Amino acid sequence: MEASTLLLYGVNHRSAGVAERESLALSPEECARVLTTTVRPGEDEEALVLSTCNRTECYLVARDPKSIVARLRAAFVAERGADLMAPGPHRYAARDTDAARHLFRVATGLDSMILGDAQVLGQVRGALQIARDAGTAGRFLQRLLAGALRTGKRARRETAIGAGASSVGSAAVEMLRRELGTLERRCVLVVGAGKTGRLIARHLAAQDAVQVTIANRTGATAVALAAEIGGRVLPLEELRRGMLVADAVITATAADVPLVDAELARGVAEARRRRPLIIVDVAVPRNVAPDVALIPGIVLRDIDSLQDVVDENLSRRLAAVPDVERIVEEELRRFETWRRSRAAAPVVRELREHFERVRLEELQRLLRGVNEAERRRAERLTRTLVNRLLHVPTIALKSVDPVSETGRVRLQTARELFALGRTPVRRGAPHAH
C-alpha cells in the first residue's frame, strides 16, 4: 500500500513582505472553505491551514500529492485570487520529515518574528480545531499537531525561550514607547478587542498612567475588555473622534478592508493641526491603507516594522535556542517512529497473520488425540516461539522509512518473501520450483 506523503506550502515574514502575506491571509471561515474544497471525502486525504499575521501555511497528507495540491491551488485562487504555490522566492515548500520539523519549530516560537512568541502555540491549536471542525484533520495530522503542541509546551517549560514578554502585542507597545519617548499620561486608542487587541490593551494597562480606549465592532466585547483594564469604550463608528484626541492608535482587527484610509487620515491630521499621530497597524490584512504613511502629521508603522524592536529578553532567548532545537529533534524522532510504524503496520500485521495461520495449522495436525493440558502447553510454547521469531523482523520493518526508495523496496521484499497478501498455500498442495 502506498504510504501517505506530508506536504507543506507557505509564506511567512521571512520570505515575504506584509503586502504579499495579506494577499494570502485567510480568516477562520476562509480556512474552513479552503479545507473542505481541497479534501475529497473517502480519499484518505487530510489538510490543515495555519494562517496568522506572520504566516500562511498549508499542511497536506495524501497518497496522490499531485491531485490534492492542484485542488489546494484552485481553492486559494478562488478564495483570495492568489496562488499560494506559485513558484518564486516568496514561497517555500517541504515534505515529510522536513515539513514536520518546520511545524515543530513554528510551535516553539523559533520561526516567529519575535523569538519565542507566546501566541503561536494558541494559533497552532486553533488551526487544528478549524481542521477538525471541517473534517479534514485525520489521524495523521492529529498526531502531527499533538507532537507540535507537545514540543512547544516543552520548549516553554524546559528552556528560557519564552522569558519575558514575547508577543506582537508587547512589541507594539514597546514601539509606541520609543516613538513617544514615554507612555505616561498618554492616550492610546486600541482598535480591536480580539486576541491580539486584548493582549495589547493588557500590556498598555500595565504601564503607569496610560489612558486606554477600546474601539471594537462588537460593543459588548469592548465593554468587557475596558472593564477588565480600567479603560474607556468608543463605538467603532466614532473612530475619527477617537483619532482626534489620541496620542497613538494601535489597530488589530480582522477586517478584510482598511478601517483607516487616506481620506479619513488626512481629515484627522488637518483637524489635529499637524499634532503628530502615531499609528501602529499590527493586523494582516492591514487595517490602515499604506498611503496613509504619506500624510504629513501621521507616523504609520506596520507589523513588519516590529522586526526592528529590540526585545529586552532577546539574549536569554537566543541562549535557549540550542536547547529548543534539541527538544524539536527529540519530538521529531518520536513522531517519525510513529509515522514509520504506521506505514509498516499492514505488512507487520500480514506477517503475523501468516505465522499465526501456519502455527495453527501445524498444531491442528500434530495435536490430534492430545489431552487438554498438553494442548495448552503446546499453545503457549508455539506462541512464544512465533513472537520471538518475529521480534527482530517487526522492529526492522517498523524502522523502515516508507517514503524512501530503500524503504519501499524493503517493505515490498518482505511481502514477496512471505507471499503476503496472496491466497495461502495449503499443506500438501504442489509447489512451484
CB atoms inside a 10 Å sphere around CB 228 = 13
Q: How far apart are CA 338 and CA 28, in angstroms?
A: 30
Are 130 and 31 within 8 A, CB to CB? yes
* Nearest Cα residue to 305 out of 340, 329, 330, 279: 279
Decide if 58 is catalytic. no
How many residues in total does the chain contain? 433
Residue 338's alpha-carbon distances to 3, 8, 149, 167, 352, in angstroms, are 13, 19, 16, 33, 19
Please state, in angstroms and rounded to a whole number, the distance separating the CA atoms of residues 21 and 11: 7
Nearest residue to 118 (alpha-carbon basis) of 69, 76, 171:
171
From residue 394, alpha-carbon distances to 75, 334, 342, 359, 365 in Å are 41, 18, 12, 18, 27
Q: How many CA atoms, within 13 angstroms, populate the side-chain half-sphere of residue 302?
A: 22
Sheet strands (E) in 70-127? 92-95
Out of 31, 53, 58, 187, which one is annotated catalytic? Answer: 53
- CA nearest neighbour of 254 among 430, 64, 29: 29
Alpha helices by DSSP H, 213-272: 219-229, 239-245, 262-271
Tell me how crowded residue 87 is: count the other CB atoms within 10 A of its CB.
8
Residue 250 pairs with which residues in a beta bridge?
190, 280
**Which residue is listed with cell 487595517?**
287
User: What residues contact residue 56 under an 8 Å CB cut-off, 6+ apart?
Assistant: 10, 11, 12, 21, 24, 25, 26, 49, 50, 84
Task: Label each residue of 144-184 as H, E or C.
Answer: HHHHHHHHHHHHHHHCCCCCCCCCHHHHHHHHHHHHHCCCC
Rounded-to-integer distance, Cα 173 and Cα 280, Å:
9
Before 285, cis peptide (omega within 30)?
Answer: yes
Catalytic residue IDs = 53
